Amino acid sequence: MRLFLILFLASFAFANDFYRHPQNGAKNYSESWDYVFVLDNGAKAYVNYTWMNVPGQGWKIGTQLSIWNLNGKSTSVGRQYPTERFKEEKGKNTINIKDEYLMENLPGKGHRVLFTADKNGKFFLDLKFTSADPAQIPNENVFNIDGQKYGLYVHIPYGRIEGRIGINNDTIDVKGYGYMDHSWLTDAATNMIARSLLFTGQNKDRIAGRINIGPKGEILGYAIYKGAPVLPAEILEDESTYNPKKFPKELTIKWKNEEIAPLKFEVKSQERFSILAYADGFAARQAMKIQMGEIFYLRGRAQTQHWGRVDWVLSGK
């Protein structure tokens, strides 16, 4: 009975972490649900749902889909909606945005992601996890910088996925694997995070997670290795402490558990774009640029010495 109660409480805690967290009056609060899908045909897809305070517009729900090299096609689309379109249907274990975007069933086996958009084309993604490594949330998953907080929950470090993806009239069945995490900040991301690195691997040991670097070199985040969380000890470029004010040519992450091999790779991107491309309208883009600056995303794939193929996303100014 005691073991059952412990497992139940742990599952209940993970379930609560899936839903939106209280803002507690934070003016620049933001919260994101991020997915990376690496398909067996070599393509990739990225989905992001974000609760945010948009400069000049107030609170918004942002939705964003990117597809890379699906039958030779790459595309991206973003939309924004008022927050009343965001509904948590806890009886159905579902987060619903305007009935066009869903995160259905709690993260794990059976978790489903739906994205539909009709903006400069028609876009469709409907994927379900057919298996999933268990969520791992260490005690150190809420980090502090100058009195502000950042929380990270790696809900699905790795899981097989299948479903359909469509660009305009070209919709195909796909299979592959996916990663999902959920994060929140009590201050503007640019005030707390200079660089953010998300990564997911495919070899038998697998390493996946998100590591962020604060403006003064603070390290926030964790990874999952062999089903257990691991914390970063230092981040290097060319054997020296990485300066987060610029994009690196290569990165090395060393872990507090020194028995775990470092994650080292060259930062050669397959994609590079500005987040301003997803703002709705010229005025919104200008307001975001003035308040936050221009944030760039780099996405790539690296063949590493210890971890095999690793797909990564690196963002920052």
Domain 2-316 is of which CATH architecture?
Beta Barrel (2.40)
Q: What is the pLDDT of residue 36?
A: 98
Q: How far apart are CA 300 and CA 250, in angstroms?
A: 12
**Is pLDDT larger for residue 281 or for residue 38?**
38
pLDDT tens profile 184-206: 999 988 899 999 999 999 877 78
User: Percent of the chain, pLDDT > 70?
Assistant: 89
Q: How far apart are CA 161 and CA 92, in angstroms?
A: 21
| pLDDT (mean) for 59-84 | 92
Q: What is the pLDDT of residue 136?
A: 87
Q: What is the pLDDT of residue 56?
A: 78
pLDDT tens profile 214-237: 999 999 999 999 889 999 999 999
| pLDDT (mean) for 18-29 | 90
| pLDDT (mean) for 279-293 | 47
Q: Name residue, tokens 């965001």.
A: 86
Q: How far apart are CA 32 and CA 15, in angstroms?
A: 16
pTM of the model: 0.90
Confidence of residue 8 (pLDDT cuts 50, 70, 90): very low
Which residues touch 224 (CB under 8 Å, ≥6 apart)?
A: 133, 136, 154, 157, 158, 206, 207, 208, 209, 230
Q: Rounded mean pLDDT of the chain? A: 88
Confidence of residue 165 (pLDDT cuts 50, 70, 90): very high
